[in-house]
Copies of this chain bind each other. A is one copy, B any other.
Amino acid sequence: MPHVSRRGFLQTSALAAVGTLLTPSLQAKNLEMVLDKNSIGKSKWELDTPALVVDLDKMEQNIKTVHTRLQGTGVGVRPHVKTHKCPAIAKMQIDAGAIGVCAAKLGEAEVMLENGIKNVMMTTVNVTAPKIVKAMALRKKYKGFIQAADNPQNIQDLQDAAKAAGIKAEVVLDINVIKRSGVPPGQPALALAQMIDKMPNLKFCGILAYDGAVQHVAGFQKRKTQALKTFEPVVESYEMMKAAGLNLEIFSGGGTGTYDIMIEVSGFTDVQVGSYVFMDRQYNEIGGAKNDKVFDDFATSLTVMSTIVNNYYPGRLTTDSGAKAFTLNKPNPLVIGEPDFNYNAGSDEYGTITFEKSNKSYKVGDKLEIIAPHCDPIVNLYDVMYGTRGDKVVSVIPVLARGKSQ
């Protein structure tokens, strides 16, 4: 941001009393608007398509698995809601023992807090005046909201805004791993931690660091070696802060690909697992500690139901689900039961399947169930996901933080 003076923040805050800047809870309106309650009790094969479906038994098992595996390690679970964007799923994660959730965007944090999730830690920084003022208003209303920072100007701005709001706001320092977000590790990180710690209206709560590049390294041992190696500078920064007597109640990071690797990091407090609830083709293919070919710690719970709309040409089928239903992520969507199908979601409106052999012959109107390439951005396309047990739809879950990219 261009520097925003304390006076600037005071004026902004005076103009709009804290709280009124917050969007009113979207839940009631969204529920009324988009919930297709008539679908409850139907088979998922009867849903209008494209439809996003989550197998609740599998998702619940995934949520349990991460806690079972981490029990006794001293490492907690702070799931990332950027993946599912649903307060309803965040509640399931909290009920299963998560210590709170992470949010990538202020809009996501707001939706979670306004819909009953008490502890939300942002993993990205808010650097513009409107976002900082809104973040402080959220913190004033919800004591469990923790913000991230990574540069001196921003820390000063957070201090000014917290003071203007009359609060002491919890802040974690984001430490850089892949030259994308965060302050460089080592002395620069220590200096900023001390700067936050000295601010009268900020409380330094610790650090976070995310190694996005290592999550999808195929092969457990290779991934483990790389993850621990790239994390070394972060651990050094942690040790420097510890020696300086700073509060380090939070040392957060990792993801679905490293959740059982980060337990070897000294002082580490919690993993920011996201995709583990759903899984997707990208994660299925990296291998796990028990199975080096398939990462089967977690089950694939998220699928898209599609309808075949054209079958005139041999070896080709067209569906109603293209890039607006699947995104362009790779590998391609995978049709359950048809391993030979090559699904191309490159067209906006249509999916095109080419194949040499199929296990059955398909008519126009037949449905397919399809595994997603990469769960996060696909969820962000849908207003609701249908919760199923077996083939039966038992709930319609509003994706309340869909599109909250601000």
Residue A243 CB within 8 A of the other chain: no
> Shortest CB–CB separation between residue A136 and chain B, in angstroms?
15
- Complex Cα distance, B318 from A181, in Å, reads 7
**A-B contact list, 30 entries, CB within 8 Å:** A1-B363, A1-B364, A2-B363, A30-B33, A48-B130, A48-B406, A82-B349, A105-B349, A124-B320, A125-B309, A127-B308, A127-B364, A150-B310, A153-B365, A179-B316, A180-B318, A180-B352, A182-B310, A183-B312, A212-B347, A320-B406, A323-B327, A323-B329, A324-B376, A327-B327, A328-B328, A348-B377, A380-B381, A381-B403, A381-B405
A residues 353-383 touching B (CB-CB < 8 Å): 363-366, 376-377, 380-383
Which residues of chain A from 120 to 158 have a CB within 8 Å of any chain B CB?
Answer: 124-125, 127-128, 130-131, 150-151, 153-154
A1 to B349, CA, bound (A): 19
Cβ-defined contact, A128 with B26, below 8 A: no
Is residue A209 within 8 Å, beta carbon to beta carbon, of the partner chain? Answer: no
B329–A328 CB distance below 8 A: yes
Q: Which residue of B lies closest to A188 (CB)?
A: B312
A288 / chain B contacts, CB cutoff of 8 Å:
none
Interface range for A? 35 or more
A131: B residues at CB distance < 8 A: 48
**Does A127 lie within 8 Å of B309, measured CB to CB?**
yes
